[in-house]
Amino acid sequence: MEKIKKIGVLTSGGDSPGMNAAIRAVVRAGAYHNIEVFGIYQGYKGMIENNIKLLSPRDVSNVLHRGGTFLKTARSEEFKTQEGRKIAYENLRKNEIDAVVIIGGDGSFKGANQFSKEFAIPVIGIPGTIDNDMYGTDYCIGYDTALNTVVEAVDKIRDTAGAHDRLFFVEVMGRDSGFLALRSGIASGAEAVLIPEKETIIDDLKKYLANGYNKKKSSGIIIVAEGDDAGGAYKIADLVKKDFTNYDIRVTVLGHIQRGGSPSAFDRNIASQMGINAVQGLVDGKSNVMVGLINRNIVYTPLEQSAKHNKRVNPTLLSTIDILNSY
């Protein structure tokens, strides 16, 4: 591989707190290695539209604490076509960009992997998703911040649940995974957690409410991941209401509040580490890999293996919820 002189960096897919910290790290690590870094605005869409600008270390001052992504993100149907990817590649060549760092999730990495193989351009991925569902890393950028946002919100909901003797079904993000729901459920003392990885049997939930919860508490919280197989918080709440007309049941969908906010210190730290090591990986000749953090050590995982469906929920987390509510 020829010496890399110019790197492009983009954010793709859903935004997550800490993406700006990762961009900052890539730009400043590039400067450290005497490599120019170009910001590609609006993800793959910007690559196709040649919305590409040189970033200096000064350009990424005062972004560390900001949520979202100043490079913006957008979906691109055109990039899914070979013609669209060819236009994107030609724009990279116009700017003399030798390699690309992609900050995003599963779909972003699939596109990057295909793009790299078609045009022989080195790419490295940095996992940025609040779902924390990427294989090859213990933590994705944004997960810790989102987790704390959920816990803070649930703590406040519990206050009003207790004041009115209400049972709240709180829906959190997690279309295909329950990592956010599980951890937030444990941290907030939820009475039950419903996730896509485990079949939700409504009759079992009703039995728990009748025999366990109803005898011990007058108010409570049930966390529901949006992708739960039973249909989400509103549908589950309606099913429970049919048999428990005496319950004062409420539903809260936290929605996109989970994606926003200033990133936590933890997310800023791992974003900085991953950004630096993404550049280092390119300098060392790596390509088509995702940089991750496992057991506090930086690792590189092939993009083909980093798909979210390869990462499994730890079954002990499920039993933790049951044990904590078994008294």
Catalytic residue IDs:
131
Q: Residue 38 region, left (φ>0) first, then alpha (ψ -120 to 50), else beta?
A: beta
Cα–Cα distance for residue pair 67/92, rounded to 1 Å: 27
Cα–Cα distance for residue pair 303/107, rounded to 1 Å: 11
CA pseudo-torsion sign 97, 101, 105, 111 = positive
Find where tokens 């490295």 sit.
Answer: 124
Cα–Cα distance for residue pair 158/190, rounded to 1 Å: 9
The β-bridge relationship of strands 289-294 and 297-302 is antiparallel
Report residue 258 as tokens. 């989970």
Report residue 148 as tokens. 């704390």
Identify which of 286, 295, 291, 296 has the alpha carbon closest to the alpha carbon of residue 306: 291
Cα–Cα distance for residue pair 69/51, rounded to 1 Å: 15
Q: Residue type at 100? A: V
